[in-house]
Amino acid sequence: MRNFALKRILSLIFVFSIVFTAFGQTAYADTSSSEAPVYEVSDKSKIEGFVTRMYKITLGRDPEPDGFEYWCKEVSERRITAGGLAYQFLFGKEFQNRITKEKMTSTQYITCHYNLFMDRDPEKKGLDFWVGYMGKNWNTTAKKKELFVGFVNSPEFQAICQSYGMLQGYYDPYHTPEQNTAIALFTERMYQIILGRNSESAGLLYWTEQLLTGKTDGAAMGQFFAFSKEFKNLKLSNKEFLTRLYRAFMDREPDEDGLNYWLSLMEVGAPREAIFNGFIHSKEFTNICNQYGIERGSLDLPSTEIYSRIVELNKIREANGSPKLVTTDLMQKWADIRVDEISVYFSHYRKDGSKYNKVGQNLGIKFRASAENIAAGAGGCMESLEQVFNAWMNSEGHRKNLLNPIYNRAAIGRLVGADGTVYWTLVLAQC
């Protein structure tokens, strides 16, 4: 009941003080310009200025050398966000002692928050609201955390942070400051690497909250960013697309062999969703998520297996003087329809007596010639694509189809029947 009441009160506070500026939950990665500078903690003077400001507003004094050096290092090495730093100062022993020593009133305490997070004194309407909300028993940890949340996530604080080159972060009262900091850094990382820009306040807040509460995970969040309207509008080449995936999901630049492998899959028609699937299920991305303390998650996306087999087939075709094969969405539909049909009626003819290529004609594919290889097996036979290709290459008729130089389009369909039998279809066409 306590958590429910707090959430309801906080939602009212956020609306009243216009802390949250988001009006939809599906557009956060589609806002702002992609030309915004990427956040980097590199300006030593700005870091020092921000930390000094924190000391003066909260503690009312200049920083001491040891503490000043420590906090500047924490900020510069990205172990804490601006919001996390504010939490450490406001809930630290020295500031809490200052409240008692100076017999601070709720008005003075709230004014300190306005000065720190909004860089101004409070307006009467806002101050009256907060004083009334905090009440006579305002000097409790629970009440002070609620006030803190109402200010630390605000757009005004984001503007202050940006002026100092700081990452605002996000604070959720149901998690530790360390968890809040880590998740905010992960969220900002997605914005910067995938979209190439800093987060906006509403987006940072939304995605951090989604991760903290388990409403989303690393894989689902990465998918949203990598296939958002904003990302698509960047119109990146395949190489640029892959480079961002390497940086975001493997935390490194692409190696030449790996980059060429993924490019070869895309050249034969592998969709970006299938390529993305290979990255978010990687060991490297699992390690990244573990580092930030979030669930990696898993997505049901197309596999690159069939495209890798077409790449391998193309190597054999090239050695035999045949042109490369590529697949298309319509070719894939053709293969998917046919594999469904042969699971019921195993033949190059369909149940209505028409030939296999009638499917391609019905789909509107303009082809001058076509061929089909089919296979089925169970109990360890013909269950992998490698087994199927080996069988086809060892069969004169099937091999002839695979290497025929007139074909330039191909697609592979796979289906597992109710009895466990695995069915395969390869359709080839001259387009």
Residue pLDDT, tens place only, 224-252: 999 999 999 999 999 999 999 999 999 99
Reported as a single tens digit per residue, the pLDDT across 263-279 is 999 999 999 999 999 99
Residue 193 has pLDDT above 90, yes or no: yes
Q: What percent of the chain has pLDDT above 90?
A: 70
Q: Which two tokens stand for residue 118?
A: 């909004």
Strands 409-416, 369-377: pairing kind: unpaired
pLDDT at 89: 96
Higher pLDDT, 5 or 147: 147
CA 204 to each of CA 149, 176, 208, 222, 356: distance values in angstroms, whole numbers, following the listed order: 14, 17, 6, 14, 52
Reported as a single tens digit per residue, the pLDDT across 288-309 is 999 999 999 999 888 898 899 8
What is d(CA 276, CA 278) in angstroms, rounded to the nearest whole number? 5
Q: What is the DSSP-derived secondary structure letter of residue 372? A: E
At residue 28 the predicted structure's pLDDT band, cuts being 50, 70 and 90, is very low
- Closest to 36 measured CA to CA, from 236, 200, 161, 245: 200
The partner residues of 370 in beta bridges, in order of sequence, read 429
Reported as a single tens digit per residue, the pLDDT across 355-383 is 999 999 999 999 999 999 999 988 778 88
CA 378 to each of CA 386, 390, 392, 412, 419: distance values in angstroms, whole numbers, following the listed order: 14, 16, 17, 18, 9
Query: Looking at this protein, which amino acid is placed at residue 47?
Result: I
DSSP of 398-426: HHHHHH-TT--EEEEEEEE-TTS-EEEEE
Rounded to two decimals, the pTM is: 0.71
Which of 31-35, 42-46, 97-101, 337-341 is least confident? Answer: 31-35
Residue 228's SS3 state is coil
Average pLDDT over residues 179-203: 89
pLDDT at 42: 55
